[in-house]
Structure 1
Amino acid sequence: MTAAKQQRQRMIADWLRQHRIGSQEELVARLDLAGVPATQATVSRDLDELGAVRIRRDGTMHYRLPEQLETGEAGRLDRLLSEWVTDIVTAGNLIVLKTPPGSANLVANALDAAGLEEVAGTIAGDDTIFLALVDGAVPGAVASALRRRREGR
């Protein structure tokens, strides 16, 4: 990693810790004001390498670093269910979760990482997740448990 890249990523990380940065364009503008030229594509790669994720908090979208998120997969899953899942319905032995466009993969990854014993696996599209349940799991009960987690209960 070059010294310029390290400096740029350090600046981005500091700004993400200190401010609510809502877009890559905002980071490009801040870097430009600091005399560090960068394109949106470069900032996008930097955010990816830093592990930054864009989350909705208090009705606005902004980037956060991994250390700024809840620890543990359960806390992460609860937060993502709360912020991104708009509907949870049963369909036979499946549970279908609806999210805003582009968010399903993020939630599905958290569901997989949480290792819920009732869930055999997930399939994520753009805004829909299918949860395949293990034999013997009761879809209505699992869906109710996910709804309670989404509501913070």
Structure 2
Amino acid sequence: MKERLTRLKTIRKLIKNYRIESQDSLLAYLEKEGYEVTQATLSRDLKLLKVGKVSDGNSGYVYSLPGEEERQESEQIYVQDFLRGYVSIDWSGNIVVIKTFPGHANTVSSALDNMNMDEILGTVAGDNCLFACLRQGVSGEQFMTELKRRIPEIED
């Protein structure tokens, strides 16, 4: 029973943190987390968690937890805040420097904080620049990959 509870918790975490469109991709993520489950077991887990599919607003549908639609709507607000304020992104070691338009650093920093990215320990904002400290072992490239996954409109 314990494995089932931890698996359900992992499924919730995966659905919250990744854009998952199919059971096959969710099974692949579960494998990476060390779980070997059948399609039938995963279907039962999804039913138990009341997981549904919602439009991603672009090209398809993604898995969503109950109440997740509201979270996705608020995350879109953060995405817009980020896009409206940032000018450029660069990094050195585990520090990411994001330059913003004057007066936008706090808004962009708050947007990043509210996206709850596992890659970020925290942010510090000034007027037109902010620093994001990455977790140990996370590179600037990994940060950018995840940020672009969440905000595809970010320019290189």
Q: TM-score, normalised by structure 1?
A: 0.48
Quick one: higher RCO (CA 8 Å, sep 6+), 1 or 2? 1
Structure exhibiting the larger radius of gyration computed from Cα positions? 1
Q: TM-score, normalised by structure 2?
A: 0.47
